[in-house]
Amino acid sequence: MAPRTAAASATAPLTPEELAAALKREGLAGLAALRESLQAQAVRHRAQRAAAIVAEREALADADVFRNAIGEVEPLNVAVRVPLPRVPPSPLPLQTRLDEEAVLHEALSDEYDPESLLDTDDSLSYCRHGVREEVVRKLRRGAWIVQAQLDLHGMRREEAREALSDFIREAVKRGLRCLRVIHGKGLGSVGREPVLKGKVRAWLVQKEEVIAFCQARPHDGGAGAVLVLLKPGGTPHHHGHPQDHDARSHRDPRERS
């Protein structure tokens, strides 16, 4: 076994075998060195013990300070957990259903032919059944001030149809009576025919809120626009889906109220 170095002897106690080897190797001089090493080890051991005692006392003192600071502590009562029943999702609100039904009722059909139900003239004037023709004449003369207008220039048919439906719905909500819808004269269309003019006419007669319309006066747009008169009251009124009119188209208009 290799002998220890002086540094190793100073940091760890000697085993009996190492002690015998040191006596044999160094004699009395080695024994004196060994005694000094053992004394140093004892001093270090006592110092370590003293440091451990001091640390333990400090920890106990800190614990006492903490307990004195917070006072007596009572354990929290553990609440009894009661399983809650699973709440089913709430049904669809009534107003949401009504709104969806209103959208369906307000849907406009491109296939609807106003000639099958209502009379119009060449100047695109119309008076709903039960409304005096004097209303159309007054509308044409400007008896009602135009309160809002919609310009359909540049829109595709689907876009124009949706825009017109939204426009009338918002006007009814606001309580407006007289509107102007600009559909254009068709000067930029193929064959120079107004594409939206006939569509707007068909869409308007499907709206129960519309009681009359006529071609605008020259300074209001002339042949490129139509003046629309809505029912008074500001509340939309529907009698079913616009396409339901097809089933009634062969009846005499005088039979309907």
- CATH code of the domain containing 189: 3.30.1370.110
What pLDDT is recorded for position 220?
83
Q: Is residue 179 part of a domain?
A: yes
The answer to whether residue 106 is domain-embedded is no
Do 55 and 125 belong to one domain?
no
Tally of domains in the chain: 2
Pick the closest to residue 164 from 218, 109, 113 (CA basis).
109
- Does residue 3 sit within a domain? no
Residue 71 domain flag: no
* 154-174 b/e (C-beta count within 10 Å ≥ 16 → b): ebeeeebbeebbebbbebbee
155 inside domain: yes
In a domain, 94, yes or no: no
Which residues, in sequence order, are CB contacts of 175 under 8 Å at separation 6+? 233, 234
Confirm whether 74 is domain-assigned: no
> Does one domain contain both 233 and 133?
yes
Shared domain check, 239 and 172: yes
In the block, which residue shows the tokens 């002086």? 6
- Co-location of 129 and 241 in the same domain: yes
- pLDDT at site 138: 92
Residues 137 and 235 in one domain: yes
Give the pLDDT of residue 67: 76
Same domain, 223 and 166: yes
Q: Which domain holds residue 182?
A: 112-255
pLDDT at 146: 94
Report yes or no on 221 lying in a domain.
yes
Distance of alpha carbon 17 from alpha carbon 3, whole angstroms = 11
- pLDDT tens track for 98-148: 665 555 455 555 555 555 444 445 566 888 888 888 999 999 999 999 999
- 135: Cβ–Cβ under 8 A, 6 or more apart, which residues? 127, 211, 212, 229
Say yes or no: 247 and 142 in one domain: yes
Stretches where the chain sits below pLDDT 50 are: 6-8, 10-11, 104, 116-120, 236-257
Same domain, 229 and 117: yes
User: Which residues on neighbouring strands pair with residue 148, listed in sequence order?
Assistant: 179
Number of neighbouring beta carbons within 10 Å of residue 33: 14
